[in-house]
Structure 1
């Protein structure tokens, strides 16, 4: 199936649906990535913190799909914040992936208490200029973090990957991203996990799914893509992998979209990136 792509500020584009790999280990990630690519995924998301980059690389090689046909993201965590620390961090990640470059490199968390995300970004700019990261971006950055980053550096992030679901809509952060031409990407798009309940049993979602003949997960993921968000659901089940990719043969009505948004728990829901120690 054909997956739409969202333009990035680099001139490249990012497939709108990707495969998340947390919290899979190397063996699980290899199986999930190979299976995901077989059913049509071309966008794979990992991170050094996940401990599965080697497995992701193995899955890519097992798929037989040429590397240049895939979009691979990794993230560097706080260990690699500060002047030039990300250089060794990315080189090690590339070695684990068995790759010469990543399509997108993200700062995993701003960690503002350390006050190193600006110097880290300048290192990312070097990695981008050297071709080791085709695009660079951030994860879990609030508007204040982005405003400072853009004011003090030369390259505007291509992507901001943040926690978004119908229960955590992050409208202010998304508006800031839009203002700067930054693509917003949703992690934990189905809810559950850090700081929010799972959404798949919510009556409003179940009702929409039953009326449309879709799964609750498909309805929630469609809510994301219909707003122009990039979404990275995670699964290791082959049937669910295919279901999560099948989002473009149906639409939610205006009323459906509004009904899902009534689940919003407010601006304080979810992970607070100012306090996260990840």
Structure 2
């Protein structure tokens, strides 16, 4: 059971991933360095960025400035949907590595499955080559539907190389994705949950407010705790120091099984894009 921000899960790649990540999605570049440094000061050891976020350089600069050993911080980036395919992905990977300037990237994901089969598998091939070269430690995917996961698994098994270490998805009680999560867990793939706070759109939901009152916690803390107890790696984001701290204070309580069950909601309402449903080819 995770007991702190420094607790980790073992990836199939052999490396360790901290159980909570600090997300920088939609964090402006001129803010990202400061808030990432604050998160590291507060104990976070996992930073989730992406090329399309436009803040790889700034969030990685905070890692270098933190004074912490590089080996203690887990840094993620992603190949964007606009640069799918072998040659494009090679370019994207090199650009992300250069922007971060961190010796290596701990985890590189395919951000979304758009582009068709050839582009997806070509992108994976580029990732495997970068991993073999020591530029990336672990590989994964984001927003892949089960059909795309099956496709990639078959490619890997037929000699494509690499292994899916992480699957990252929008996951919260209003978008649980149990089918995808089960596919991943059955293969020992770590599930990451982005937008675990539902972008603050559900904080007034009665079920959430009731649980927050019961445990003397905030609705955000209840949602992060839900994600942790599901065995996921939540990636909360904030640019407010007090909330960055609040989102880390989730290891001193545990939701009962009944309260976890109360968050099994008959609803599918993602707040972000939804390639899992929208990408049909």
The two structures share one fold, judged by TM-score above 0.5: yes
Structure 2: how far apart are the matches of 1:271 and 1:265? 16
Q: Which residue number in structure 1 is paired with residue 215 of structure 2? A: 212
Answer yes or no: is the 8 Å Cα contact 2:84–2:123 preserved in 1. Answer: yes
Cα drift, residue 87 of structure 1: 2.2
SS at match of 1:180: coil
Q: Is the 8 A contact 2:224 2:250 kept in 1?
A: yes
* Residue 183 (structure 2) aligns with: 176
Q: Which residue of 2 aligns with 1:34?
A: 37
Alpha-carbon distance in structure 2 between the residues aligned to 1:2 and 1:223? 15
Q: In the alignment, is residue 16 of structure 1 matched against residue 19 of structure 2? A: yes
So what's the TM-score if we normalise by structure 1?
0.92
Pick from 14, 36, 48 the counterpart of residue 45 of structure 1: 48
The equivalent residue for 1:89 is 92
Q: How does 1:60-99 map to 2 (within 5 A)?
A: 60-99=63-102
Residues 166 and 190 in structure 2, CA contact (< 8 A), matched pair in contact too: yes
How far did residue 111 of structure 1 move? 0.6
Instruction: Give the structure 1 partner of residue 274 of structure 2.
Output: 272
Q: Distance in 2 between matches of 1:97 and 1:52?
A: 9
More divergent stretch after superposition (115-124 vs 38-47): 115-124
* Cα distance in 1 between the residues matched to 2:270 and 2:226: 21
- 8 Å Cα contact 1:170/1:267 also seen in 2: no
Q: Supply the RMSD in Å over aligned alpha carbons.
A: 1.9
Q: State the 1:239 CA deviation.
A: 1.3
Cα distance, 1:113 vs. partner?
4.1
Q: Deviations over 1:19-59 (max 9, x none)?
A: 00010122211011000000000000000000011111222
Shift of 1:62: 2.5
Conserved? CA contact 1:168–1:270, under 8 Å: no
| Matches of 2:271 and 2:250, distance apart in 1 | 26
Contact 2:191/2:232 (<8 A) preserved: yes
Aligned residues: 272
The gaps in structure 1 that reach 5 residues or longer are none
Residue 188 of structure 1 pairs with residue 187 of structure 2: no
Give me the TM-score of the superposition, normalised by structure 2.
0.91
Gap regions ≥5 residues in structure 2: none
Q: Tell me, in whole angstroms, the C-alpha distance in 2 between the residues paired with 1:139 and 1:212.
A: 32
1:182-261 alignment runs, 5 A limit = 182-192=189-199, 198-261=201-264
The answer (yes or no) to whether the contact 1:77–1:109 under 8 Å persists in 2 is yes
Alpha-carbon separation, structure 1, partners of 2:89 and 2:5: 34
* 1:22 aligned counterpart, secondary structure: coil
Give the match's secondary structure for 2:105.
Answer: coil
* Residue deviations 1:96-120 (CA, integer Å, cap 9, x gap): 1122210000000011547410111
Which of 6, 15, 18 does residue 3 from structure 1 map onto? 6
